[in-house]
Amino acid sequence: SGGDPSNSNPNSGGITTLTQEQFVKFYKDHYHPTNSKIFVSGTVEDVKNTMDLVDGYLKEYDYDPVIREQSKIKYQSKKQAHHTYHSIPYAASSDEDGQHMLQVTWLLNDEKDIKKFTPMMDLALETLDYLLIGTSSSPLYKRLIDSGMGSNIIGYGLSPGLLQQTFAVGMKNVKKMDIAVLENLIFQILRDVVADGFSSEEIEAALNSIEFQLREVQTGSDPA
């Protein structure tokens, strides 16, 4: 997906004020075949037939390096002078019912880290994610649940699938009076983890679990 057209213009009032001209321009800029990646699997005959079909669609277009360049996703800086807060209102019966959600998100890499994010770094982050929040006894998960300030964990930790990886954690069904307390607790837990570290047994268990997940045979529609 090329994304939300309203985000291409920081002065835009949002999707409700989007004009047809803006929409068409966004489509031409971001959905041009120049930006496409086509994956085909199957027998040699399957691949040939599919590529012939694709060629029937794409032969009407020329590769456009200008579109390719202007459609590149720009890196965001992972360091800011101040925290950025976003408050998103949504319908709730009452504030005292504990209908708020709080999530803290860290951006883990930017353009300066391209060479640093090797497969080894990816594995290290995945291991740390498992240690922090991967099981019900993991310190970040357990202490947040035990705090009673929310009904469940949100954020799901590490998200490695985007250009820039993030780590996010929070809770839902939080009372307004507990929002700041919960945010402080998240940072305190992480400070405690830095101070205490993990035992070699915990790290070995995490690596064994990750190895098992990588070796596990997939079933269903996904390839094994």
**Per-residue pLDDT at 96:** 58
* Contact present, 154 and 186 (Cβ < 8 Å): no
* 26 residue type, one letter: F
**Per-residue pLDDT at 16:** 75
Other Cβ atoms closer than 10 A to 176: 12
* Contact present, 5 and 15 (Cβ < 8 Å): yes
Strand partners for 51: none
pLDDT (tens place) for every residue of the chain, 224 residues total: 445 555 555 455 567 788 899 888 888 888 888 888 888 888 989 899 999 999 998 888 888 888 888 887 788 887 776 777 777 776 655 555 678 899 999 999 888 887 788 889 999 999 999 999 999 999 999 999 999 999 999 998 999 888 889 999 999 999 989 999 999 999 999 999 999 999 999 999 999 999 998 887 555 545 44
* Contact present, 167 and 157 (Cβ < 8 Å): yes
**Per-residue pLDDT at 12:** 53
Whether the full predicted model's pTM is greater than 0.75, yes or no, is no
Both tokens assigned to 143: 């202490």
